[in-house]
Every structure is written in C-alpha cells, then in structure tokens.
Amino acid sequence: MKVKIKQVEGITFIGKADSNHWITIDGPKDFSGSEVATQPMELLLIPLGTCTASDVASILKKKCVDLDKFEMNVTAEKTEEHPKVFTKINIEYEFTGENLKNKDVERAIELSQNKYCSVSAMLSKNVDIKHTYKIKN
C-alpha cells in the first residue's frame, strides 16, 4: 500500500492511497491550519468506526438480521502532553429494527473487535478500546 501526500498551504494537505481518491486533511488555525478539513486525529477515528461498522453490518446480513438503521458514535480521550495520543476510545453501536436479538448483535461486535477489524486490532495494542451498544425498536 502506498500513500501520496501533497501540501496545499500551511498544514493543509491532500492525500491519496492506492484507491486513487483524494482527501483533504487540515489542522487548527493556531497551528497554521485553515480549519477547512478533518484533522489527522479525527481522521483516525473514522477508519476505526467504519472498519468495525462494515464488519458488523456484513456479519448481521449473513445472519439474515434486518436493520432499519445502524449508526455509531466514536469518542476518544487523549493525553494533554505531546504527543497527544489517544488513551481511551469508546465505540457505541446503535441499531434500530424489529426483532433484533442481543446475542446476534453481541456476536457480530465480538467478531469484528476480536477477529476482523484490522484498524481496531492495530490501535488496541496501545489504546484501551471499549464498546457498547443500544438496540431500538
């Protein structure tokens, strides 16, 4: 896998990987950013969430579990000192649908967190990652 990064201005950058889709990354104005795009640490949480979300959705589909709606909230705490690394991450899964069973949801999350999600596997070596879920009918 390769990534290409180009400076736009200050600490505003664009980057693309092998999939050939450009994304913009920026920072706060007090660090020469323009505040026009997602910051790197924010961007790190999005792949974590979407990696596990993809797994969970796929697993539930294979189990013939119908979801009316599936959303997630990912929150993180980080150190006050540089480097300001994440110390805790909480992933909250929110499922809406009729006849959703706790055991199906729990198993899908467990498989994602412990077997399939490579982003979670990589981050969990250094960060305490917890997960919770809610089922709404």
Q: Which amino acid is at 34?
A: S
Task: Please tell me the predicted confidence (pLDDT) of residue 1.
Answer: 93
Q: Is the pLDDT of residue 53 over 90?
A: yes
Model confidence over 1-14: pLDDT tens digits? 999 999 999 999 99
Asked if residue 103 lies in contact with residue 64, where contact means CB atoms within 8 angstroms, the answer is no
Residue carrying the six token digits 């797994």: 55
Instruction: Look up residue 35 and give its DSSP letter.
Output: S
pTM above 0.95, yes or no: no
pLDDT at position 137 is 85
